[in-house]
Copies of this chain bind each other. A is one copy, B any other.
Amino acid sequence: MEKLGANPANSCPLTPLGFLERAATVYGDCPSVVYHGTVFTWSQTYRRCLRLASALVSLGVSRRDIVSVLLPNVPAMYEAHFGVPMSGAVLNSINTRLDARTVSVLLRHSGSKLILVDPALLPVLQDALRLLPPGHQAPRVVLVEDPHEKDFPPAPASALTYERLLETKGDPEFRWVRPASEWDPMILNYTSGTTSAPKGVVHCHRGIFVVTLDSLVSWSVPERPTYLWTLPMFHANGWSFPWGMAVVGGTNVCLRRVDAGEVYDTIADRKVTHLCGAPVVLNMLANAPEGVRRALPGKVRILTAGAPPPAAVLGRTEAIGFDVSHGYGLTETAGLVISCAWKGEWNRLPASERARLKSRQGVRTPGMAEVDIVDGETGRSVPRDGSTMGEIVLRGGCVTMGYFKDEEATKAAIREDGWFYTGDVGVMHPDGYLEIRDRSKDVIISGGENISSVEVESVLYGHPAVNEAAVVARPDEFWGETPCAFVSLKDGAAATSAAEVMAWSRERMAGYMVPKTVVFRAELPKTSTGKIQKYVLRNLAKEMGPTRRGVSSSKM
């Protein structure tokens, strides 16, 4: 028995990339990706991805190179999830809401060789490229035209466009580049996490393979679903469903923007069966006016995660007829690894009680090895009493390999004790279901996006009049939370207004990160060692009551 082990036939790398070739064989004539009048079949998508992979190779992209995408949920975005790693490169999806400065920082940090960009995001990219330091090799830009957006200007004749690239450099018979090891990197996602320095989360082929099958089983996804892309694919790779849809031969219905009317229309017209979204999407669907809502075409299943959903929002969404499942994951787990697995007997409870139970994050998914909540000081499991808080820790096949070029952050998160420390705080209920009580204290979650308070503060600290700044979450009726800044001013700077601080911020960070509330204080509360007491400020922000909709951008 000692002599038996890994061998050439059973140790070939676990990878999700083979799912596509299989989909082309089994679902060849079925729709794969739909976007307005554009409909691809699985056999076309397979060949387009092979074209993309071979075109990248012909442009000089090689194993472990970074290829970035700055795209909304359009067909090219779907194709990148297979086509880029099929060239051997690592896919780096960039949040489309970032400002040019941050995009520039990410391109520099990743050393990206090539970027696919949407026409609407080209100006941001161009600004980002100008901000690259002298001597830095800028990535090659490929413009992904959108024939369905009549307002977009035509691509300059000199521009390398996506379709031209596939047509002139793409080989639909390309033998795709298989990973040499299942631990080869495949994905690089930057978190807008808890610190100002961007952290590049790296996932390998094995991790994506495991989370993809696990997510399908955990959500009981049947064959041939019609899946609506309300969740941005750049957000933790759409929780693994780009690869999952190839497994089950689903139809990927693409949407450039998420708006209640368009979502309801698409659900009804395309007979959508499945969609994912942060609680803010559920809130949008639940609060849509009568005239905007459409009758659901059948059973429509929604998977929500990304922020703790208020029970009231879950309740309202189910009252409309959606079948909501709730889970939890991080960019570092490449998808959901905790889910509120539903018990039949709970169906007999009143709606409000059902919503309360469903708002708990739940239990580990089958593919995740272990989950616990530990005391930060002792490292021991907290009691299962539903009230003792501790940090959520995880281990399993889809946990990140670590942070790109950041050994310190990697060591802080992945410890010698074999756990990944999430930085999220929760409680364990007596029935073994966990519930998040406070996303790691300083993070603000606005519309499903994590906002680093430290990052916002560091900008505020750059304002000439600001003495000290602390940013915490303030409840918001629509976004869940918005950033609220407490600021003390330098002597002689009393004339500075809140509006001025906001305007100043708007020029220096993405719109969603700009504080929607600015409170001036003579001094900020501090501990004896001089640390600002954020929990005091958080309570003050709560006492102000929620901000209301319409304050800023309605863009998601």
**A508 an interface residue at 8 Å Cβ cutoff?**
no
B29 close to A345 (CB less than 8 A): yes
Contact of A10 among B4, B5, B15, B397 (CB under 8 A): B397
B420 close to A22 (CB less than 8 A): no
Kindly state the separation between the CA atoms of A25 and B27 in the bound complex, as whole angstroms. Answer: 37
A202 close to B1 (CB less than 8 A): yes
B18 close to A370 (CB less than 8 A): yes
**A223 an interface residue at 8 Å Cβ cutoff?**
yes
Kindly state the separation between the CA atoms of A210 and B214 in the bound complex, as whole angstroms. Answer: 10
A1 close to B404 (CB less than 8 A): yes
Kindly state the separation between the CA atoms of A364 and B27 in the bound complex, as whole angstroms. Answer: 13
Kindly state the separation between the CA atoms of A418 and B13 in the bound complex, as whole angstroms. Answer: 12
A364 close to B9 (CB less than 8 A): no
- With a 10 A CB-CB cut-off, give which of A213, A247, A419 has the most chain B CB atoms: A213
A5 close to B183 (CB less than 8 A): yes
Given A364-B22, A366-B19, A395-B10, A4 contacting B402 (CB threshold 8 A): yes
Contact of A363 among B22, B363, B370 (CB under 8 A): B22
Kindly state the separation between the CA atoms of A305 and B497 in the bound complex, as whole angstroms. Answer: 69
Closest chain-B Cβ to A237's Cβ sits at a distance in Å of 16
**A30 an interface residue at 8 Å Cβ cutoff?**
yes
In the assembled complex, which residues on chain B have CB atoms less than 8 Å from the CB atom of A519? Answer: none
A394 close to B64 (CB less than 8 A): no
The size of the chain A interface, using a CB distance under 8 A, is 71
B14 close to A210 (CB less than 8 A): yes
**A248 an interface residue at 8 Å Cβ cutoff?**
yes
A341 close to B26 (CB less than 8 A): yes
A343-384 CB mask vs B (1 if < 8 Å, else 0) is 111000000000000000001101101100000000000000
* A340 (CB) vs chain B CBs: closest residue: B26
Segment 365-421 of A: residues with Cβ below 8 Å from B: 366-367, 369-370, 394-402, 404, 407, 410, 414-420
Kindly state the separation between the CA atoms of A410 and B6 in the bound complex, as whole angstroms. Answer: 12
* A111 (CB) vs chain B CBs: closest residue: B1
Kindly state the separation between the CA atoms of A401 and B6 in the bound complex, as whole angstroms. Answer: 6
A413-433 CB mask vs B (1 if < 8 Å, else 0) is 011111110000000000111
**A7 an interface residue at 8 Å Cβ cutoff?**
yes
**A136 an interface residue at 8 Å Cβ cutoff?**
no
Contact of A431 among B22, B25, B418, B420 (CB under 8 A): B25
Interface secondary structure of A, over-half rule: loop
In the assembled complex, which residues on chain B have CB atoms less than 8 Å from the CB atom of A18? Answer: 366, 369-370
A214-235 CB mask vs B (1 if < 8 Å, else 0) is 1011001011100000000000
A8 close to B417 (CB less than 8 A): yes
B220 close to A7 (CB less than 8 A): no
A399 close to B9 (CB less than 8 A): yes
B363 close to A8 (CB less than 8 A): no
Kindly state the separation between the CA atoms of A402 and B3 in the bound complex, as whole angstroms. Answer: 9
**A12 an interface residue at 8 Å Cβ cutoff?**
yes
Closest chain-B Cβ to A419's Cβ sits at a distance in Å of 6
Kindly state the separation between the CA atoms of A363 and B410 in the bound complex, as whole angstroms. Answer: 41
Kindly state the separation between the CA atoms of A3 and B406 in the bound complex, as whole angstroms. Answer: 10
Kindly state the separation between the CA atoms of A363 and B249 in the bound complex, as whole angstroms. Answer: 14
In the assembled complex, which residues on chain B have CB atoms less than 8 Å from the CB atom of A407? Answer: 3
Kindly state the separation between the CA atoms of A7 and B407 in the bound complex, as whole angstroms. Answer: 13
A12 close to B217 (CB less than 8 A): no
A418 close to B247 (CB less than 8 A): no
**A242 an interface residue at 8 Å Cβ cutoff?**
no
* A210 (CB) vs chain B CBs: closest residue: B14
* A365 (CB) vs chain B CBs: closest residue: B22
**A436 an interface residue at 8 Å Cβ cutoff?**
no
* A64 (CB) vs chain B CBs: closest residue: B1
A246-272 CB mask vs B (1 if < 8 Å, else 0) is 011000000000000000000000000
In the assembled complex, which residues on chain B have CB atoms less than 8 Å from the CB atom of A129? Answer: none
Segment 304-349 of A: residues with Cβ below 8 Å from B: 341, 343-345
In the assembled complex, which residues on chain B have CB atoms less than 8 Å from the CB atom of A247? Answer: 217, 366
Contact of A9 among B30, B183, B367, B394 (CB under 8 A): B394
B183 close to A6 (CB less than 8 A): yes
A9 close to B217 (CB less than 8 A): no
Contact of A432 among B14, B25, B399 (CB under 8 A): B25
**A185 an interface residue at 8 Å Cβ cutoff?**
yes
In the assembled complex, which residues on chain B have CB atoms less than 8 Å from the CB atom of A30? Answer: 344
Closest chain-B Cβ to A380's Cβ sits at a distance in Å of 15
Kindly state the separation between the CA atoms of A366 and B23 in the bound complex, as whole angstroms. Answer: 9
Query: Please, could you name 8 A-B residue pairs with CB atoms under 8 Å apart, sorted by A?
Result: A1-B185, A3-B402, A4-B185, A9-B396, A10-B396, A12-B369, A14-B397, A18-B366
Given A9-B414, A10-B420, 20 more pairs with CB closer than 8 A: A6-B183, A7-B402, A8-B417, A9-B420, A10-B396, A10-B400, A10-B401, A12-B396, A14-B210, A15-B369, A22-B363, A25-B432, A25-B433, A26-B341, A27-B343, A213-B217, A216-B217, A217-B247, A217-B248, A247-B366
**Shortest Cβ-Cβ A-B pairs, 10 listed:** A10-B399, A25-B432, A4-B401, A9-B420, A8-B418, A26-B341, A9-B399, A213-B213, A4-B402, A247-B366
